[in-house]
């Protein structure tokens, strides 16, 4: 039975699915046998295989996939305890799965945290924005600020926890997660900002600096906002008003004098020469 369990785990990993969700045909192919031979060795039912997988320390599934349960459980734990307080044991307990299942699906804690960051960060929205960018610089900057503002307040609050860990432990798990996604994020920023640099609207600063000037003030505001009002009684602008304030400040800081930041004015057709 061990070779069938191993084949089932290989087939599940290749498809990023629970064993219970992998067709017997795929498991048989991974084992190098026919489906009928597999069923005969299992006694006519896959229940024996699921039980053998469970005995091997892996949850065969049948509920929402282990991957989904683990990502959401880990996200809640990050929001409650910070990255440093998240262990695979705690995630397995909350997700109702086994520790070997998490190692099989994510190949360790960093892989799980990377999946959480991918799910709950601004990366998916940033990629969608870069694939269909707004036409004007002002609309681009506003969309970027709105994207990151939403990521900072999104529940569970993963992005603030990642940055808090990054500031406290430059060589910790947040740094590894950020490093793994940095190249992709910079590519998206380049697609959004470099056309405006080439058009003479944005100062020709390194893209990383343009990004830091955009995200930095918003990040500082997002991290401080939860404590400013309760601690000091400071009245803060609404989130939408805050985005507009930062958009205006960013455009003042990085646009070239006289540059057009709004939607381009259509060029009128040329006047025909006199006859």
Work out the mean pLDDT of the chain and round it to a whole number.
84
- Residue ranges of domains in the chain: 2-55, 66-117, 121-254
Q: What's the pLDDT score for residue 166? A: 83
Higher-pLDDT residue of 174 and 217 is 217
Give this prediction's pTM.
0.67
- Indicate the class that CATH gives domain 66-117: mainly alpha
Q: What's the pLDDT score for residue 262? A: 66
Q: Does domain 121-254 have CATH number 1.10.10.10?
A: no
Q: Give the whole-angstrom CA distance, residue 6 versus residue 57.
A: 12
Q: Give the whole-angstrom CA distance, residue 19 versus residue 11.
A: 8
Q: Is 268 helix (H, G, I), strand (E, B) or coil?
A: coil
């Amino acid at each position: 039975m061990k070779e069938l369990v191993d084949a089932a785990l290989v087939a599940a990993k290749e498809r990023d699915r629970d064993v219970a969700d992998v067709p017997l045909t795929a498991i048989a192919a991974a084992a190098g046998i026919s489906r009928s031979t597999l069923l005969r060795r299992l006694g006519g039912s896959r229940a024996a295989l699921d039980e053998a997988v469970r005995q091997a320390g892996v949850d065969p599934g049948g509920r929402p996939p282990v991957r989904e349960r683990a990502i959401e459980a880990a996200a809640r734990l990050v929001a409650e305890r910070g990255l440093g307080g998240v262990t695979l044991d705690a995630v397995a307990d909350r997700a109702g799965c086994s520790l070997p299942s998490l190692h099989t699906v994510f190949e360790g804690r960093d892989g799980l945290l990377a999946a959480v960051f991918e799910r709950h960060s601004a990366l998916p929205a940033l990629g969608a924005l870069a694939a269909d960018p707004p036409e004007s610089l002002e609309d681009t900057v506003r969309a970027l600020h709105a994207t990151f503002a939403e990521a900072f307040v999104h529940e569970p609050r993963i992005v603030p926890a990642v940055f808090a860990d990054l500031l406290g432990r430059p060589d910790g798990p947040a740094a590894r997660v950020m490093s793994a996604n940095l190249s992709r994020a910079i590519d998206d920023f380049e697609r959004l900002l470099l056309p405006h640099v080439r058009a003479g609207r944005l100062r020709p600063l390194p893209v990383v600096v343009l990004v830091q000037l955009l995200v930095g003030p918003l990040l500082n505001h997002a991290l401080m906002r939860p404590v400013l009002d309760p601690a000091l009684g400071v009245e803060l602008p609404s989130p939408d008003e805050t985005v507009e304030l930062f958009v205006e400040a960013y455009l003042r800081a990085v646009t070239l004098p006289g540059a057009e930041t709004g939607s381009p004015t259509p060029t009128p057709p040329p006047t025909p020469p006199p006859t």
